[in-house]
Copies of this chain bind each other. A is one copy, B any other.
């Protein structure tokens, strides 16, 4: 895994890929799939996301105020669905699904070694958690896997239908 400058993090999340969110508490790690996230600020990168209070990760995220957002490429699509199809209650999803929890540098939640990008995050705002399950995160450290070049991400359209990244077009935009 190679360092990614924090100023480039938005380019990973702005396009709306399905991501994984890992948490850890008292030595026990969990991972969930998530599509409800968005950028809030470029640098330091702030991310908003919705983690339902019906999700097993919710309690850990509230308690530890830490997580990792890991971005899977197409080759992990079937594992992403397996992650979404089961709860972490009483199950070690990393082991049962076959993913590698790698140590992060600044948070207890693990990186997902198979993902092409991993973002170590802390919760910085909980004002909208009770009403909407909406957390605001700050990215503390970002990693990319230099071995995964031009990864194609997947975008959920509901009920297991995913659109895969197609061609890239380049237009003369003044927008960052």
Contacts and interface: CB of A to CB of B under 8 A. Distances in A.
Interface in A70-103: 77-78, 81, 84-85
A165 B163 contact: yes
Interface stretch (A30-38, A58-66, A111-119): A30-38
Given A17-B16, A50-B38, A159 B132 contact: no
Interface in A1-52: 8, 10-11, 14-17, 33, 35-41, 46, 48-50
The oligomer's copy count stands at 2
B36 A38 contact: yes
Nearest to A86: B174
Contact of A162 (B154, B169, B176): B169
Interface residues of A, number: 55
A175 B33 contact: yes
A113 B160 CA distance: 30
A35 B50 contact: no
A134 interface: yes
Contact of A172 (B81, B134, B167, B175): B81
A11 B163 CA distance: 11
A149 interface: no
A49 B125 CA distance: 16
